[in-house]
Amino acid sequence: MYEQFPVRKFVAPEIILGNGSRSLVGQYAKTLHGRNVFLVSDPGILRAGWAGEVRDELERQDIHVVLFDKVSPNPRTSEVAKGSQEYQENECDLLVAVGGGSPMDCAKAIGAVVTNRCHVLDLEGVDEVTVPGPPMICVPTTAGSSADVSQFAIISDENKRRKFGIISKAMVPDVSLIDPEVTLTMPPNLTAETGIDALSHAFESYVSNASSNMTDMYALEATKMIARYLPQAYEEPAELRFREKVMLGSMYAGLAFSNASLGLVHSMAHSLGGYLDHSHGECNAKLLEVVVAFNHSTVPERYSALEAAMDGSSSCTTRGLESLRSRLRELTDSLDMDPGLSKMGVREEDIPYLTENAYNDACHVTNPRPAYREDIARLFHEAL
Ligand SMILES: [Fe+2]
């Protein structure tokens, strides 16, 4: 039957992909007329030397740099407020973020707060950023969050122990310098967690109600690359060729989810991460399988295509839910990831609060099967 193409938009930053691309930061900062850069990073990335390298590149181009490294693993509203205050006090004119999802999301939120002259909580939701932030360059140091290419920024509301999303075309950075070399310093657990976050992006965008021909292509290719190369990058962390493949897979997944949005895994993971301050990738890893089981009967053919992609095959023979579940378990086992939320410290009595915050999260709007509070509570129970 003839199926008409739906009308869909696709947004992306200027992407420079390849080893050594981080050295172009000074050149791009000049192109964007930056004279006084606000450099957002975190203490771990400073220790690894990547933020210092980027600062040196900027200074070589006679660009003044103000360093802001007060970013937690789950960036908080107070850190965004502090950063936007320092940005304004120093009269900065360009944002550069070096790090994983946390510094990049924090930098995106700082930019939006600066130009919109508001509190970061006022920007929660879809299309609430009225004025685009200052120009921004990202140098991602993990292969997973894809905040460098996405319309999303996720911030922790520490007072309510919840996370919220700022989702807007205005949150897409101007330039992403994607340099696989900088992922060589990731410890094995971070490689695994961020990689599973990227796989969750690919899965959720492919089954999303807002998926399109443009995002499907990226989601399937991302699934293929991550399933094949993530275990190898985990086993042989110093092998750049595996890091390159996972980085590319993560970028594809980022382009897919930025434009097709996400689903219930992310709503539940945001709730969990906001409540317990655990890493986002670890939360996703513990939830992906139960959400796949919940959604499977609604879009079985989409999940068959994802399983085929995981096996590097183009044939979409329907193998069913149990086959896909065991394939996912095989992958997480190969990354030494424990299933079970109880091992993270989640208790039965936490489930009502976790459920409410997951239900109020915007990501599950595009989940293929509608999820109500009772469904989400049951899934949290199953994942214990
Ligand atoms: Fe994610």
Using the mean position of ligand 1's atoms as its centre, give its distance from the Cα of residue 142 in Å.
12
Host H or E run for residue 94: strand 94-99
Mean pLDDT in residue range 60-72: 96
Using the mean position of ligand 1's atoms as its centre, give its distance from the Cα of residue 224 in Å.
18
Q: Are 98 and 185 in contact (CB under 8 A)?
A: no
Half-sphere exposure of 254 (CA within 13 A, CB side): 29
pLDDT for residue 160: 93
Using the mean position of ligand 1's atoms as its centre, give its distance from the Cα of residue 152 in Å.
10
Using the mean position of ligand 1's atoms as its centre, give its distance from the Cα of residue 266 in Å.
6
Mean pLDDT of the chain: 95
Query: pTM of the full predicted structure?
Result: 0.95
Through-space distance between the first and last CA atoms of the chain, rounded to whole angstroms: 43
The pLDDT confidence band at residue 58, using thresholds 50, 70 and 90, is: very high
Q: How many CB atoms lie within 10 A of CB 127?
A: 11
pLDDT at 1 over 70: no
Using the mean position of ligand 1's atoms as its centre, give its distance from the Cα of residue 270 in Å.
9
Percent of the chain with pLDDT over 90: 91
State how far the Cα of 314 lies from the Cα of 150, in Å rounded to an integer: 27
State how far the Cα of 213 lies from the Cα of 279, in Å rounded to an integer: 31
Mean pLDDT in residue range 335-341: 89
Using the mean position of ligand 1's atoms as its centre, give its distance from the Cα of residue 277 in Å.
15
pLDDT for residue 315: 66
Give residue 130's identity as a one-letter amino acid code. T
Using the mean position of ligand 1's atoms as its centre, give its distance from the Cα of residue 94 in Å.
26
Using the mean position of ligand 1's atoms as its centre, give its distance from the Cα of residue 101 in Å.
9
User: Structure tokens of 303?
Assistant: 């999940």
**Domains plus CATH for the chain?**
14-182 (3.40.50.1970), 186-383 (1.20.1090.10)
pLDDT for residue 194: 96
Q: Are 51 and 98 in contact (CB under 8 A)?
A: yes
Using the mean position of ligand 1's atoms as its centre, give its distance from the Cα of residue 286 in Å.
13
Q: Supply the DSSP symbol for 106.
A: H
Mean pLDDT in residue range 300-316: 88
Using the mean position of ligand 1's atoms as its centre, give its distance from the Cα of residue 153 in Å.
10
pLDDT for residue 300: 95
Per residue in 230-244, pLDDT (tens digit) is 999 999 999 999 999
Mean pLDDT in residue range 258-267: 97
Backbone angles phi, psi at 39, to 5 degrees: -100, 115
Sign for the pseudo-dihedral over CA of 357, 274, 146, 228: negative
Q: Report which of residues 73 and 367 the model is more confident about.
A: 367
Using the mean position of ligand 1's atoms as its centre, give its distance from the Cα of residue 202 in Å.
10
pLDDT for residue 365: 95
Q: How many CB atoms lie within 10 A of CB 299?
A: 18
